Chain A
Amino acid sequence: MKRNIFLYLLLVPLFLLLLVFLAWPMVLVLWESFFVEGKPSLSNYMSMFTSKLYRESLRTSITLSLATTAIGTLCGIPLSYALYRSGGRLKALMLSITPVPLTFSGLVVGFAFIILLGASGFITLLLSKAFGINPLEFSSFLFTWKGLVVAYLYFLIPRMILTMISAWSKADWSLIEAASSLGASRWMTLHKVLLPMLLPAVLAGSSLLFAVSMGAFGTAFALTGTGVKILPLVIYTHVSEVSVDIGRADALAIVLALVTTVLILIYERAFAARR
């Protein structure tokens, strides 16, 4: 009992940190989202239904995030397996490099891609020398949602790899051997043994990827400006200069958080139930 109290005391700083910097701001955002010019109102939320811009941005955000999550997951699983099976120095080196993209701010990632793929970027110039492509036309994709897919994958794939690598390490390989020695086909082994073993990590990883994509702001802000219609950028337009409308921004932030959470819950439930 005494030990328990001590443990709880240790948790107090974390609890306070989350309370002050996570829970309290969320409460404020939620509270302010119900006010229009000082009067209580639901119109900030109703605008989600009346404004085509908001609906489209939400849809683009979801589409973009689904695409990046799917590609990130599909790339991450085989890469993490290869990394797990590789050995020695190479593995140690790769494992220490893989998390590096996660430490960069979104702004840095945006500029890194401009330096590589922009109109005067390294790869663009190389390609234009080699194949005579027009650098302006080639690089223009970078400033649309397609550019965001490429840039997001840069920090999503390492996330997937890091989540999966521990799953591979913890997997019980004797079960696979047992299955094949008992006469299971390759497909059956995969379907009945390997997948269920890995599923929790795949679910956790892809949910994380989706959440990160939905909320990513810095990269989009630096790379594409505010011309691409995704919800984080639309929220930004309401806290800046001309179109300032904090209540509106609050409501959109709540919608973004809710939609992301609900979609992830449905997704995890659907797969957990199948198991």
Chain B
Amino acid sequence: MRWVKVLAVVAVLFGAFCSTAPAGAIEQELYPGEKELHEAALKEGALYSYDTGPTWANWQGLFDAFKERYGVEVTWNDLGSGATVVRLEKEKNNPQADTAYYFMPFGALAKERGVTEGFKPVNFDKIPDLLKDPEGHWFSIHKGTVVFVINKNYVKNTPKGWKELLDPQYSKSVVYLDPRTAGIGYAIVIATSYAMGGNLDNMDPGIDYLAQLQKVGNVRMIEKTTEYDKFIKGEIPIWITYDWNAYRAKYIAGLGDAVDVVIPEEGTITSPYAISMVKGAPHPNAAKLWLNFIMSEEGQKIFAKGFVRPILTDVELPSEVVDKFLPASDYERAMDVDWVKAQQVQDKAAKLWGSKVLGD
């Protein structure tokens, strides 16, 4: 009687499929024209969003909310910013992606390579001018601040700033990402440069500092990809990364008091992350619906729920999140930089880091 069981399973699965597939009609529009856009998007039936890895910056939360509201499944990949631009270029004649997300400087690069389309989503005017392309070829959607995340099981005295990290008591303790391979790594180079008295024209102070950190033996490893899991597992005593990773480890993964979050006393920077509509997107209406949703107050709040700073400053943050962020006075030490310029000097800085820190 095995076939009876098989049939029963199939029937149940089919039932489940039917009940989840169509989303209910939108009852109240988030912005004028949403219903119309939604209907057009449903006809297209799919959405390809490049480089929005679900574990980064609470993208999973946005996927779920988007699916729930519109019934459109977001198909994603996790390539890395640079690789995303390369891939868009390769697919130029036959675009596969609808939207592309990156470390903000890559937005300008993607526009330069002619793979983006101008689109101004809702609330576009509220994005600071420096953090968007005037025609909407790319625009920032959230920010992250470079902080220290401390595992207090290993670190008895929490370091307050960059200079203290050089102390011998932090031997073999510091982990950060490779500036050659990750936007956050590059953000760390810029942060240390400003903290050590340099700037975008002169990054030597920051890179010299990182080289010294390496030389005194306090760098445990240069990571690339699995740093969050390694931190949770207890392999990383001091981790330099974005603040949302810190809060996620502390409050979502539940490490609580075992984790300290520090905004270095000498200062740090805040990095914007941007998104674009892809030129010749196969599902243009779904892309617009997605971009509008990300920029709506609704979407921005979902970032905040994952401790990711929304780009819109007037969005009311959920109270359970607000209390957990470090005080605003700490965040005053985090500065904004000229990211378009940062993109132009990025390659040079990455090479300089390679030669001074890895000593080639």
Contact = CB atoms under 8 A, between A and B. Distances in A.
Q: Do A and B bind each other?
A: yes
Interface of A: 51-53, 56, 111, 114-115, 118-120, 136-137, 139-140, 143, 221-222, 224-227, 229, 236-237, 239-244, 246
Contacts of B154: 119, 136
B178 A226 contact: yes
Interface of B: 80-83, 85-86, 103, 154, 171-173, 178-183, 185-186, 219-226, 230, 233-235, 237, 346-347, 350-351, 354-355, 358, 360
A140 B172 contact: yes
The listed residue with most B CB atoms (<10 A of its CB), out of A118, A137, A227, A237, is: A227
Main secondary structure of the interface of B (DSSP, over half): mixed
Contacts of A225: 178, 221-225
A69 B243 CA distance: 43
Contacts of B171: 136-137
A224 B178 CA distance: 12
Given A53-B355, A225-B178, A140 B220 contact: yes
Contacts of B234: 118-120
Contacts of B172: 136-137, 140
A226 B180 contact: yes
Given A56-B360, A137-B171, A222-B226, A241 B103 contact: yes
7 contacts: A118-B234, A119-B235, A226-B178, A226-B224, A227-B358, A241-B103, A242-B350
Given A227-B358, A242-B185, A237 B180 contact: yes
A227 B103 CA distance: 22
Contacts of A136: 154, 171-173, 220, 237
Contacts of B235: 114, 118-120, 139
B85 A244 contact: yes
B173 to A, nearest CB: 7
Given A114-B233, A120-B235, A137-B172, A226 B181 contact: yes
A140 B355 CA distance: 23
A242 B354 CA distance: 12
Given A241-B181, A246-B86, 8 more contacts: A143-B221, A229-B358, A236-B181, A240-B83, A240-B181, A243-B82, A244-B82, A244-B83
Contacts of B80: 240-241
A242 B234 CA distance: 28
A243 B347 contact: yes
The 8 A-B pairs with the shortest beta carbon distances in the complex, nearest first, are A227-B222, A244-B82, A53-B360, A120-B234, A143-B221, A140-B172, A225-B223, A241-B82
Given A136-B173, A222-B226, A241 B182 contact: yes
Given A120-B233, A244-B85, A221 B221 contact: no
B83 A226 contact: no
A118 B347 CA distance: 33
B183 A242 contact: yes
Contact of A118 (B83, B225, B233, B346): B233
B183 A119 contact: no
Nearest to A120: B234
Given A56-B360, A222-B226, A227-B178, A244 B86 contact: yes
Contacts of B347: 242-243
A119 B346 CA distance: 34
Contacts of A137: 171-172
A207 to B, nearest CB: 30
Contacts of A53: 354-355, 358, 360
A242 B186 contact: yes
Nearest to A118: B235
B224 A242 contact: no
B343 to A, nearest CB: 10
B259 to A, nearest CB: 15
A230 B122 CA distance: 47
Contact of A242 (B181, B219, B221): B181
A221 B230 CA distance: 13
A40 B169 CA distance: 52
Contacts of B81: 241-242
A99 to B, nearest CB: 26
Nearest to A55: B360
The listed residue with most B CB atoms (<10 A of its CB), out of A118, A140, A143, A240, is: A240
A241 B83 contact: yes
Nearest to A237: B180
Nearest to A229: B358
Contact of A237 (B178, B225, B233): B178
Contacts of A241: 80-83, 103, 180-183
Contacts of B186: 242
Nearest to B230: A114
A221 B181 CA distance: 12
A128 to B, nearest CB: 12
A52 B360 CA distance: 5
Given A119-B234, A229-B358, A242 B346 contact: yes
A172 B66 CA distance: 70
A10 B222 CA distance: 49
A246 B85 CA distance: 12
B197 to A, nearest CB: 24
A144 to B, nearest CB: 8
Contacts of A118: 233-235
B358 A237 contact: no
Nearest to B81: A241
A239 B225 CA distance: 14
